[in-house]
Amino acid sequence: MYLYEYEAIELFKRYKIPIEKTCLAKNYEGLKKCLYEIPPPNVLKAQVLSGKRGKSGGILFPNTKGEYLEYGKKLLGKDIAGMKVDSILVSERIDIKKEMYIAITIDKSKKKYVVIIAAVGGMDIEEIAMHSPHMIEKIIIDPLLGYSEYVIRRIAKKLMLPVNEVKKIFIPMYRLFIENKCLLVEINPLVLTTDGRLLAIDRKIILDDSFIRLDKGLKKYIDLRMCKMSESEKIAYKHGFSYVKLNGNIAIIGNGAGLTMATMDLISLHGGKPGVFLDLGGGASSERVRNALLIVLHDKDIDKVFVNILGGITRCDEVAEGIVRAMEETKTDKKLFVRLVGNNEEIGRKILFDKGIYAFVDLEEAVKEVVMS
């Protein structure tokens, strides 16, 4: 689960990671109250689950009271990456001497933790890698051994900071990561202020969905998120699907986040408008496929559904049976497109063919048909 920044701040404060002064506004009245706590010049940050909010106009820098109220009013209700802004984080404007990047995540290939640091910050790590690859360093940590003083010294050397100052950031950050079973804890940027303070002024946390269901302290984030979810999102979450509602009319169902995202990009490239992203995950049973398809078939904003399956541990015949069951149950007039390749694909295509459903093999051909039909 990707936390809102204001939720991440709660955990940062719990672990005493130094941050700037902030105030959360959930409506226009709240915005006016925050004005007196943190007067301009300050920063208005849209609270949406997107890493691209700055580029989408979701971070604004008012210098006066008039600008603050004007910018805040425009930001509330604004659409950013398909998500409506319903709260704003008001942050103290910081005089910055230096921006840096630090994150702790998991290297699944090595089955170890990895600390990623860069001597520049304030942009996506992908951009840093592209424009300043020499600025990035990765430090592997064995989960069984934990970090050592050597790790802290390497961070301090790379970021050109005093070791004692790095400890104030890294040690509580590492505890937060470990104790809450995080998939990612990121500070971007970590800043050195002109008066010598080291502050985490932009925070990102991704939690493990399986763990937060069991942890009483973290489960509240699920409960809060459920209150904001549509009925489709609640059903998708119940079944463990990665589900994102978008603005278009084409629902995309795939097995694996990478495949589903690539399919969504291809749809967009050919002029289509994705309306739902739904990742089945690996090894999907016919029942799981049926449940996924029923969710999008009941979405009034969707008129086309594209199921793209690359069968490995997922069997194409299981997928086909799930598709047939869902279509027979709904009797929908929505257009369905299927691409099946991989494990038991011939059996799966025959199951679909017998029910009058054609299954594509070539992805490019399938995508063109979805968009043009």
Q: Would the pLDDT of 366 be above 90?
A: yes
Taking CA atoms, 198 is separated from 6, 133, 147, 292, in Å, by 19, 24, 21, 46
Q: Which domains does the chain have, with CATH numbers?
A: 21-92 (3.30.1490.20), 96-211 (3.30.470.20), 231-372 (3.40.50.261)
| Neighbouring C-beta atoms of residue 229, cutoff 10 Å | 14
**pLDDT tens, 310-321?**
998 899 999 999
What is the pLDDT averaged over residues 168-175?
Answer: 98
| Beta bridge pairs of residue 187 | 102, 203
- Whether 128 shows a pLDDT value over 90: the answer reads no
Region 30-37: what's the mean pLDDT? 96
Mean pLDDT, rounded, for 204-220 = 84
Give per-residue pLDDT as tens, 36-58.
Answer: 999 999 999 999 987 778 888 89
Please report the pLDDT score of residue 237 as a whole number. 76
For residues 326 and 309, what is the distance between their CA atoms, to the nearest angstrom? 16
Cα angle 77, 78, 84 (rounded to 5 degrees) comes to 65
Degrees to nearest 5, angle at CA 41 with 36 and 43:
90
pLDDT 10s digits, 58-94: 999 999 999 999 999 999 999 887 788 999 999 999 9
Q: pLDDT value at position 216?
A: 79
Q: Is the pLDDT of residue 127 over 80?
A: no
**Confidence band (pLDDT; 50, 70, 90) for 20?**
very high
Lowest mean pLDDT among 19-33, 181-195, 240-254, 264-278: 240-254
Q: Which amino acid is at 4?
A: Y
pLDDT at residue 47, rounded to an integer? 94
Q: Report whether pLDDT(189) > 80.
A: yes
pLDDT at residue 60, as a whole number: 96
- Kindly tell me if the per-residue pLDDT of 125 is higher than 80: no
Burial readout 115-151 (b: 16 or more C-beta within 10 A, e: otherwise): bbbbbbbbbebeebeeeeeebbeebebeeeeebeeeb
Give the DSSP per-residue string, 244-313: EE-SSSEEEEESSHHHHHHHHHHHHHTT--EEEEEE--SS--HHHHHHHHHHHHT-TT--EEEEEEEESS
Question: Picking from 76-90, 208-222, 299-313, which range would have the lowest pLDDT averaged per residue?
Answer: 208-222
Residues with catalytic roles = 101, 186
Q: What residues contact 102, with CB distance under 8 A and at least 6 apart?
A: 115, 116, 117, 118, 155, 159, 169, 170, 173, 186, 187, 188, 190
> 244 falls in which pLDDT band (50, 70, 90)?
confident
pLDDT higher for 236 or 178?
178
Q: What is the pLDDT of residue 32?
A: 96
Does residue 255 carry a pLDDT above 80?
yes
* Residue position matching structure tokens 């992908």: 126
Q: Rounded to whole angstroms, how far apart are CA atoms 83 and 60?
A: 17
Q: What is the pLDDT of residue 114?
A: 97
pLDDT at 126 over 90: no
Among the ranges given (157-161, 163-167, 207-211, 257-261), the one the predictor scored with the smallest mean pLDDT: 207-211
Q: What single letter denotes the amino acid at residue 304?
A: K
Whole-number pLDDT of residue 70: 96
Mean pLDDT of all residues in 122-126: 74
What was the pLDDT predicted at 117? 96
Distance from C-alpha of 252 to C-alpha of 370, rounded to nearest angstrom: 10
For residue 153, is pLDDT > 90? yes
pLDDT exceeds 80 at position 115: yes
- What confidence tier does 245 reach under pLDDT thresholds 50, 70, 90? confident
